[in-house]
Amino acid sequence: MAALDNSVMNDPRPFGTFAPSGLTRWVIDRTRGLPGSWAGRRIAMMLRRVVTRSLKDHPLDLETFGVRMRLVPYRNVCERRILFTPQYFDLDEIKLIAARNREGFTFIDVGSNVGWYALLVARKAAPSSRILAVEPQPEIFDRLVHNIRLNPFGTIKAVACAIADKTGELTLFLDPLNKGEASLKIVNSSQTDTIRVPAVTLLDLVKREGFTRLDAVKLDVEGAEDLILDPFFRDAPASLYPCLLVIPNVPDRWQVDVPKLLEERGYRRTLQTRMNLVFERA
């Protein structure tokens, strides 16, 4: 199997060309059946570590919860979780978002990574829905686009930019050991790479796409959620406030008290999962 490059991610051969086999298939089957207990998670981590090291940059094709994806688990924590332990994701969030599904449903996934969250929402969404999957990293964006193409949902648009507190070109900080971790703030790594990427504010993106309402928004930008939300709620009309908002539970990374900001705008917290907070607005 060839090492990963753009030609592999855009390989014209059908889904399943890179299907897991042998030890890799066995480990995936075992880890996907493990419970979410401490012992179950430890066993899963040990097993997946063995396979990930042997795979390096080789891709794998796999369908999970009705979503087809080409995954490269090496140096991307998100893809490792999707491949080996998708049962550990907080799917209650997806159910809350899906409950708001209606004609013309709108959803923006900021920090979409390789598209897992957006594709799970799209699988349940009506054909008239509009879903934006926003990802600034060029390499990860290519994987996102490929995964969207693998699925027949037809409701997702991939957007290659960062969402920030101003529109222009900004520096994005990357963790070389976890390609899915990128932020407008310095990430937690002793070795941090940087790239320059185009950026827009959330309000500018919404206006550019012609949205007149937002049913749901998910932000996962490694602690920069406050940089996005503070100017948005300062400048946006109330008619554009998201009905439902999912954010990571990382108050130690914020310079603004995000839950307080949301409460002042009429939101109430309706769910706290292992990693995220969900706020809804009447």
Q: What is the pLDDT of residue 13?
A: 79
Q: Which residue has the tokens 């994701």?
A: 89
Q: What is the DSSP letter of 3?
A: P
Q: Which domains occur in the chain, in start order? A: 6-80 (no CATH), 91-281 (3.40.50.150)
**What are the distances in angstroms from CA 62 to CA 16, 25, 69, 83, 120?**
7, 10, 6, 8, 14
Residues of the chain with pLDDT under 50: 1-4
Q: What is the pLDDT of residue 2?
A: 37
Whether 167 and 127 have beta carbons less than 8 Å apart is answered as no
Q: What is the pLDDT of residue 3?
A: 40
Q: What is the pLDDT of residue 189?
A: 55
Would you give the end-to-end CA distance of the chain in angstroms? Answer: 52
DSSP, residue by residue, 115-147? SHHHHHHHHHS-TT-EEEEE---HHHHHHHHHH
